[in-house]
Chains A and B, each alone.
Chain A
Amino acid sequence: MPLFQKLDVDFRGQGASHQMRSWVPSGPIHHLQEHRLYFGLYLNELITRLWPLQGNSVALFGLYSSTLTLISKQHQERAALRYFERTLLAELGFALEFKQSLDGRAIVPEGHYRHCVGTGFERSPVVPNAISGEHLIAIDRNEWHLAGALHHARGIFSREIDLHLEGQTLHTRTLLRQVMDRATGDLGAKT
Chain B
Amino acid sequence: MSYSPLTEQLIQSLRGLPGIGIRSAQKMALHLLERDRDVAARLASALQAALESVGHCEHCRMLTEQNLCPTCADTDRDDHMLCVVESPADVEAIERAGGFNGRYFILMGHLSPINGIGPEDLGLDQLRNRLNAGGISELIIATNPTVEGDATAHFISNDVRSCEGLTVSRIAHGIPSGGIIEQVDGQTLYRALQSRAKVL
Please give the residue numbers on chain A whose beta carbons come within 8 Å of chain B beta carbons, in ascending order.
2-5, 25, 28-29, 31-35, 37-38, 40-42, 44-45, 48, 169-172, 174-175, 178-179, 182-184
Contacts and interface: CB of A to CB of B under 8 A. Distances in A.
Given A2-B187, A4-B147, A33-B150, A182 B161 contact: yes
Contacts of A170: 113
B154 A37 contact: yes
A41 B113 contact: yes
Given A32-B147, A41-B147, A169-B116, A175 B158 contact: no
Contact of A29 (B114, B118, B150, B190): B190
B172 to A, nearest CB: 15
B142 interface: no
A182 B113 contact: no
Contacts of A174: 118
Contact of B147 (A3, A42, A175, A179): A3
Given A2-B187, A29-B187, A175-B119, A182 B158 contact: yes
Contacts of B178: none
Nearest to A178: B119
Interface string B157-182: 01101000000000000000000000
Contacts of B148: 41
Contacts, number: 61
Contact of B114 (A2, A28, A31, A44): A44
Nearest to B155: A179
Looking at chain B, what size class is its interface with the partner chain? 20 to 34
B151 A37 contact: yes
Of A38, A40, A42, the most chain B CB neighbours within 10 A belong to: A38
A184 B161 contact: yes
B164 to A, nearest CB: 15
A175 B150 contact: no
Contacts of B190: 29, 31
Of B119, B146, B151, B185, the most chain A CB neighbours within 10 A belong to: B151
A26 to B, nearest CB: 11
A42 B111 CA distance: 12
B185 to A, nearest CB: 8
Given A171-B114, A171-B117, 13 more contacts: A2-B187, A4-B147, A25-B186, A29-B186, A29-B190, A34-B154, A37-B147, A44-B113, A44-B114, A171-B116, A171-B118, A178-B155, A183-B158
Q: What 5 pairs between A and B have smallest CB-CB spacing? A: A171-B113, A3-B147, A172-B113, A37-B151, A45-B113
Contact of A28 (B116, B146, B155, B186): B186
Nearest to A41: B113
Contacts of B155: 175, 178-179
B23 to A, nearest CB: 10
A16 B82 CA distance: 46
A163 B151 CA distance: 27
Contact of B158 (A29, A44, A179): A179
Of B113, B146, B148, the most chain A CB neighbours within 10 A belong to: B113
A33 B117 CA distance: 20
Contact of A41 (B151, B158, B186): B151
22 contacts: A2-B146, A2-B187, A3-B147, A28-B186, A29-B190, A32-B147, A34-B154, A35-B154, A37-B147, A38-B151, A41-B113, A42-B113, A44-B114, A171-B114, A172-B113, A174-B118, A175-B113, A175-B118, A178-B118, A182-B159, A183-B158, A184-B161
